[in-house]
Amino acid sequence: MSAQVTVRYWAGARRAAGRDSEQLSAGNLRDLLSQLGSRPALTDVIAASSVLVDGIANPSDNSLPEGAVVDILPPFAGG
């Protein structure tokens, strides 16, 4: 079963996606990241990014609850 989730893009991920956020449907986190990684502009960004699900990094469960917020956080430079 697929869940409708909000994907928010930050920094370089926002530039690559061409938007701040979008609504997508996916069965689990792995499926969602596969969808995103299949977009040529996002392939390298997704591979290098950290992913938060409802504010949790590296969730122990791969499932996505309905209405989850998934943040795509590429590496940041600066100090």
Residue 9 domain-assigned (yes or no): yes
We report the CATH number of the domain holding residue 51 as: 3.10.20.30
pLDDT category at 61 given cuts 50, 70, 90 is confident
Q: How confident is the model at residue 48 (pLDDT cuts 50, 70, 90)?
A: very high
Give residue 26's pLDDT band: very low, low, confident or very high (50, 70, 90): very high
Contacts of 9 (CB under 8 A, 6+ apart): 16, 17, 19, 20, 21, 72
- For residue 72, is pLDDT > 80? yes
**pLDDT(32) > 60:** yes
Domain count of the fold of the chain: 1
Q: Which amino acid is at 29?
A: L
pLDDT of residue 78: 59
Strands (E), the chain: 3-9, 21-26, 50-53, 56-57, 69-73
Q: Which residues contact 8 (CB under 8 A, 6 or more apart)?
A: 20, 21, 69, 70, 71, 72
Give me the domain span that covers residue 63.
3-73
Predicted TM-score (pTM) of the model is 0.91
